[in-house]
Amino acid sequence: MAKFFLQELEKRGIKCTGDPVVGEGGWTIFLSVGPGKFILFFQWLPVGRPAKDYWVIQPSEELEPILSHIRAILENEKRIAEISWLTFDEFGALCLPDKSPGDVRSN
């Protein structure tokens, strides 16, 4: 998924620094748009109750300069069946059911 996204972003003129970096639990891609630098982390996680496996894309920060590109990639890819946009607290509540949403950032 990270490699696919990297290629799609590059097609849209977004500068990506090298191949996705494999790390503990997922893959990271590094992007540049004008003076802004962004990081996207891709991982396969159980989400919800009952848990179902999903690809999750976590940004390093606000994605406004590249959000339209991410949205277009997701919406135009026929292999992607379901898209959900979650806040940090919503994501934490679904993925860490034993924590209250306010506790997510302290981990």
Q: Could you give the C-alpha distances from 82 to 29, 53, 61, 99, 104, in angstroms and in order?
A: 22, 12, 23, 26, 24
Q: Give the phi and the psi of residue 12 in degrees, each rounded to 5.
A: -95, 10
pLDDT digits (tens, 9 = 90+) for 35-71: 878 888 888 887 777 777 888 887 777 777 788 888 8
Q: Binning pLDDT at 50, 70 and 90, where does residue 103 land?
A: very low
Q: Binning pLDDT at 50, 70 and 90, where does residue 100 land?
A: very low
